[in-house]
Amino acid sequence: MRYDVVTIFPEYLEPLRLSLLGKAQESGLVQLNLHNLRDFAFDRHKTVDDTPYGGGAGMVMKAEPWGLALDSILNSALSNQPAVTADAEPHDARPLLIVPSPAGKVFNQAKAYELAEQEHHIVFAPARYEGIDERVLNWAEDHFRVMPVSLGDYVLYGGEVAVMAMIEAVTRLIPGAMGNPESLDEESHTGGLLEYPVYTKPSVWREREVPAVLLSGNHAAIARWRRDQQIERTFARRFDMIETYPEDGWDKKDRKL
């Protein structure tokens, strides 16, 4: 998987070079390219924003630096594209452009699975200020599959945090990116349920004991207890996961109640 991120704060994304995600890059499983938007602003002050037409508070990100940055990524992708054979099936070769935005569809685990399984090159355009000149997104439709995505119903200073969350959520689902892939099987949102509580030594901590079933060695009883805990937690904390399918139209992955 290749990720390209265009941002005015590339250093914001440096934590993605750490831990398992860093190892995924070292192994070649993942390629993470960070592009400083200011490198595509060629006036003396490397200006990337200006006042909004129509007035209003804040600044809007100028179109040209984004256009040049995205051109550069497209050209790089084309030069790395395998040759298309004459009998190749027609398919949409446009890379995916994810635009983090409070106005996007809400990201979820089902979408993370879909991106991990189906995409090989994802470009991220995290905005700052009041957003990106809309003409960039309109132009981009001819060259990318443009997908506005929200992390949730709240507002951030910019999209970089959303990009980090999405890159981590997708990468950990790519085969070979997790230390122990089995840990994906029972985590929250896999199978449409929240994860069960976990415990480790010591068996008594501040007068609190580990549930006896977990010390019983009875694997069937343990599995049943864990499933019951998942259902109980999901009903208590996320009844919406039980009650309705997501309004955002992205189907749950492998719902198993």
Ligand X SMILES: Oc1ccccc1-c1ccno1
Q: Which residues bind ligand X (CB under 6 A)?
A: 100-102, 126-127, 150-152, 154-156, 158-159, 162
| 161 vs 231 by CB, closer to ligand X | 161
Strands (E), the chain: 2-7, 31-36, 49-50, 60-61, 96-106, 121-124, 145-150, 204-205, 208-209
For the bound state, the minimum distance from the C-beta of residue 18 to ligand X, rounded and expressed in Å, comes to: 22
Other residues' Cβ atoms within 10 Å of the Cβ of residue 122? 22
For the bound state, the minimum distance from the C-beta of residue 39 to ligand X, rounded and expressed in Å, comes to: 21
For the bound state, the minimum distance from the C-beta of residue 166 to ligand X, rounded and expressed in Å, comes to: 10
| 126 vs 191 by CB, closer to ligand X | 126
List the one residue out of 54, 79, 74 whose CA is nearest residue 139: 74
For the bound state, the minimum distance from the C-beta of residue 19 to ligand X, rounded and expressed in Å, comes to: 23
| 105 vs 233 by CB, closer to ligand X | 105
Long-range contacts from 74-80, C-beta under 8 angstroms, 24+ separation: 74/143, 76/4, 76/33, 77/2, 77/121
| 91 vs 154 by CB, closer to ligand X | 154
Task: Give the residue nearest to ligand X (CB).
Answer: 159
